Chains A and B, each alone.
Chain A
Amino acid sequence: MSRSRRSVLVPSVMAFGFAFLYVPILAMIGYSFNNSRLVTVWDSANSPTLKWYSALWRNQQVLDAAWLSFRIALLNATGAAILGTLAGLVLARFGRFRGRTLLTALTTAPLVMPEVITGLSLLLLFVAMEQTIGWPAGRGVTTLTIAHITFSLSYVAVIVQSRLAGFDVSLEEAAMDLGARPVTVFLRITLPLIAPAIVSGWLLAFTLSWDDLVISQFVAGPGSSTLPMVIFSKVRLGVTPDINALATLMVLTVAVGVVIATVLLRRQERRREQDLRLAAGAD
């Protein structure tokens, strides 16, 4: 009796939950092909249409903002991947050292810190730095990139750290015993092992930066509006069909990217596991 009740409860909550997660996005995608300017009135005579997509292509403000966001996202992802990998490596492999607790705190706090606090505080730092040492002069790409790296490096660190925690140190220790220098061990053993984690971290950092609104609003200067900032200023005034089109493009790009990356990473993972099993079987 109760067994059958539970077996219904869990799947139905799951179905509801997944519908809840996906219906709004699917509705938005559908309406991006609607001919009517009144977003939610479906003009069945003239729809579907791609006119909002072509309008987007002629909107210089949107194109400029997208280009700016893209450049910042690239810089950020690369910076965050390097710093986050170092932090993850230190936390997973360096054992106890003075300042470990501090580093743990500094890498986990940005994951939950409300963005308004981080954004405001960073802006105040930039202003104070400009007053005292003259750098960063004004606000724009530099301040946006620094701010984005600061919150996204934590995500990379967590991913890399948990990946390293899944691997035995014995491989690295064996290489050390055979006389390899730490840099060689890192480049030849550790880096290949954590490469998938670094790639995932890079991708996540890229999208976090590409999507960030709140922190960017604080640290952006006049004339450096990122894509989410442009979208937000339009959306505050109401729902518009060209934003539906833009949103559809952004959501689909990310979805396709994530699916491809996941499949590729999993395939590589499986190959590596096979290699390890073969290696283990050989001795």
Chain B
Amino acid sequence: MAARGLRLGRLLVIGVPMGWLLLFFLAPFLIDFKISLSEVRLAIPPYAPLLEWADGKLVALHLQLTNYRYLFTDSLYVSAYGYSLKVAAISTLLCLLLGYPMALGIARAEPARRNLLLMLVILPFWTSFLLRVYAWMGLLRNNGLINNLLLWAGVIDAPIQMMQTDFAVYLGIVYSYLPFMILPLYTNLEKHDGTLLEAAADLGAKPLAAFLRVTLPLSVPGILAGALLVFIPVVGEYVIPTLLGRPDQLMIGRVLSDEFFANRDWPVASAVAMLMLVLLVAPIVAFQRVQSNAAEAR
């Protein structure tokens, strides 16, 4: 009796979060996939049903791959996917180059200062993403703070166009995603055993060699976690390219959003989402590996 109650309780504790996520996280992808195979229609909702029923019998099955074919033939989509992957890869690298020394510096700081520095990294993470991107608009505009300062100092004669450029997109992304790179790196670097570096030094290794042969290899899991936390969401980034980016080269998140809101073409928007998901499956699985390895190591 007690054992049965125990099993039931255990099932309930597992079942509640599992049920929620199955219904509201996994099932939506299946519906997304279904709608990506249907045809757009002027109706509410604006897509044709896949199955047609009459008198309780299935009379027709409409499966269309045209939405997908469309994505591969129209150069708008191909270039948007390519551009998104390129932007995500380069900004991940930039975040790593800036974030690694920062994480290392924090991990090696005095304990009292370390907490303060860590808080300074976490604080932007808690403030609105949208507002942090917006803050850059005030700096980058033609009559913004940076141009005004440069004009005033006589460095330039005419404002530099910084908004609506690739530069602004990279800047906005690195700015917004930097804490996601620093935190997992810090978590990793902080656990390193300092005696390893002392041993390397005793054996005659210069600090650079010790870094390359001890610290860097040990920090690979942190690098991977940080890189994936930046790369995956950036591929689908919407806010930053919309506010700071080029109007002539869209990222795929913007394309999806335009198909859905402006063109009301739900099936094509679904196909765009599905293809993005296919591109991201491998990185997402890798991220889960890294996460569960880290959880087991603790």
Contacts and interface: CB of A to CB of B under 8 A. Distances in A.
A247 B123 contact: no
> Most B CB atoms within 10 A — which of A6, A31, A124, A150?
A124
Interface stretch (A17-25, A48-56, A57-65, A271-279): A17-25
Contacts of B26: 106
A21 B106 CA distance: 15
Contact of A258 (B6, B99, B123): B123
A24 B135 contact: yes
Nearest to A3: B207
B229 A90 contact: no
Interface string A57-97: 00000000000000000000000000110110111001001
B206 A40 contact: no
B10 A94 contact: yes
A117 B141 contact: no
A111 B229 contact: yes
B203 to A, nearest CB: 16
A2 B298 contact: no
Contact of B295 (A162, A207, A210, A213): A162
A178 interface: no
Contacts of B105: 10-11, 13-14
A254 interface: yes
Which size class do B's interface residues fall under?
Answer: 35 or more
B208 A262 contact: no
A217 B137 CA distance: 21
B1 interface: no
Contact of A165 (B13, B104, B121, B295): B295
Interface stretch (B55-63, B69-77, B124-132, B216-224): B124-132
A47 interface: no
B242 interface: yes
Please report whether the interface of chain A is mostly helix, strand, loop or mixed according to DSSP: helix
A131 B108 CA distance: 57
A247 B131 contact: yes
Contacts of B122: 258
Interface string B142-157: 0111001000000000
- B-side interface mostly: helix
A13 B101 contact: yes
Nearest to A4: B207
A25 B132 contact: yes
A125 interface: yes
B53 interface: no
A147 B16 CA distance: 16
B280 interface: yes
A115 B14 contact: no
Interface of A: 2-3, 6, 9-11, 13-14, 16-18, 20-25, 27-28, 31, 38-41, 83-84, 86-87, 89-91, 94, 97, 99, 102-118, 120-122, 124-125, 127-128, 131, 146-147, 149-150, 153, 157, 161-162, 165-166, 182-183, 204, 207, 210-211, 213-214, 217-218, 228, 231-232, 235-236, 238-239, 243-244, 247, 250-251, 254-255, 258-259, 262, 266
A254 B291 CA distance: 28
A48 B9 CA distance: 61
Given A6-B207, A213-B239, A258-B123, A114 B253 contact: yes
B37 interface: no
19 contacts: A17-B101, A24-B132, A24-B136, A40-B145, A90-B14, A106-B26, A107-B21, A111-B287, A112-B228, A112-B287, A117-B32, A118-B28, A121-B273, A127-B45, A146-B24, A149-B20, A165-B295, A182-B10, A254-B126
Contacts of B18: 99, 102-103, 106
Interface in B189-218: 206-208, 211
B89 interface: no
Contacts of A150: 20-21, 24-25
Contacts of B284: 109, 112-113
B192 to A, nearest CB: 15
Interface in B28-43: 28-29, 31-32, 35
B160 to A, nearest CB: 15
B288 A114 contact: no
Contact of B131 (A39, A90, A147, A251): A251
A173 B13 CA distance: 19
Closest 8 CB pairs of A and B: A114-B236, A121-B28, A24-B135, A13-B101, A87-B17, A106-B21, A112-B232, A125-B28
Contacts of A262: 119
A161 B207 contact: no
Interface string B274-298: 0011001001100110011001001
Nearest to A23: B139
Given A40-B138, A165-B295, A213-B239, A6 B17 contact: no
B17 A120 contact: no
Contacts of A18: 102, 117, 120
B175 A21 contact: yes
Contacts of A131: 45
Nearest to B298: A165
B270 interface: yes
Contacts of A83: 16-17, 20
A228 B239 CA distance: 11
Contacts of A147: 24
